[in-house]
Amino acid sequence: MKFLALHKSGPRKIPNSHCLALHNCPDFVTGLRKTERIIEENEILEQSTVLIVSDHVEFAHAITARWQSQRDVPTMTMMSTDLCQEMGAGTFDLAIIGAVRNDVLASTLAALEGSANSVLHVCENAPNEDSRNTQSRVMRLRKQDGWLDVLILLASETLRKCEAIAHARRLEQANALLDAEATLGRYILEMRHSLNNALTSILGNSELILLEEETLSPAASSQIETIRNMGLRMHEVLQRFSSLEKELKVAEKQAKTETIAKAQAAGAIF
């Protein structure tokens, strides 16, 4: 049997991130919440996956049965060494290999180690010096009394490390997205004066032309009125950017004041 089993636990409930609530800045808050949703969706999609490689069903069943008693059960995929060579690097976070044939052990470990993911080898005997040197990234666990408890503990800590690294990468991506949006926002704020001057000219000239409406054809009059209305709408948008800039400055000042107050309160306790 090449493909033994596939077990997937339900998605974990991920708590919402806390952010600074700027009630008067709906556009800013919307951007933050959008970024939070992206992070939370990625966390669910990137739930930890454990690959169990073994030629004996009992080995895989022992691990899955012991793991079911834990609070956090990852997605587990079990397969034999025949299919292991075809596994991609992004298909698992941790590979556990044990109870495999000696003639395929070295090649299987090399394939798993080449994926750049964490690999844990449960071995019957202590590995020789050659295997330690050629497979330095492989973690090894002697199969002795209590090995299952040690395996679950070591695997859980390894998965937590993988989750922390993945979470840090997602935060970097979200921060890069916010930086790009902030750069665009700063550029618009810097250009608003030039845009306002251009809009003032457009609105003023369109109003002057409309005062002589009797000299215009109905089609021309309608087109100029459309230009004026669109100019007014753009003016409202630019005014919103100016208002948002003031609100963000107020929010930043309040945040600094609260930080200073908390630091003083903490200093007073000690």
Task: Please give the pLDDT value at position 121.
Answer: 92
CA distance 34 to 41: 11
Domain for residue 100, yes or no?
Answer: yes
123 phi, psi to nearest 5 deg: -115, 150
CATH classification of the domain holding 85: 3.40.50.2300
CA distance 58 to 219: 83
Domain for residue 26, yes or no?
Answer: yes
Range of the domain at 81: 3-169
Domain for residue 17, yes or no?
Answer: yes
Domain for residue 125, yes or no?
Answer: yes
Task: Please give the pLDDT value at position 61.
Answer: 92
Task: Please give the pLDDT value at position 120.
Answer: 92
Q: Under a CB-based contact definition with an 8 Å cutoff, are residues 102 and 108 in contact?
A: no
Tell me which residues of the chain have a pLDDT lower than 70. 1-46, 85-90, 116, 126-136, 266-270
What's the Cα-to-Cα distance from 219 to each of 55, 205, 213, 223, 253, rounded to whole Å? 81, 18, 11, 6, 52
Cα dihedral 174→179→180→181 (10° resolution): 90
54 phi, psi to nearest 5 deg: -160, 150
The pLDDT tens digits of the residues spanning 8-56 come to 333 333 333 333 333 334 444 455 555 556 555 554 445 788 999 998 9
Q: Which of 164, 171, 16, 160 is nearest to 74 (CA)?
A: 160
Q: Which of 95, 3, 4 is nearest to 57 (CA)?
A: 4
What SS3 class is residue 225? helix
The residue length of the chain stands at 270
HEC secondary structure over 148-164: HHHHHHHHHHHHHHHHH
Task: Please give the pLDDT value at position 126.
Answer: 66
Task: Please give the pLDDT value at position 135.
Answer: 58
How many domains are there within the chain? 2
CA distance 164 to 143: 29
CA distance 71 to 161: 17
Residues 98 and 212 in one domain: no
């989750």: which residue's tokens?
Answer: 163
Task: Please give the pLDDT value at position 178.
Answer: 85
Domain for residue 113, yes or no?
Answer: yes
What SS3 class is residue 194? helix
Domain for residue 226, yes or no?
Answer: yes
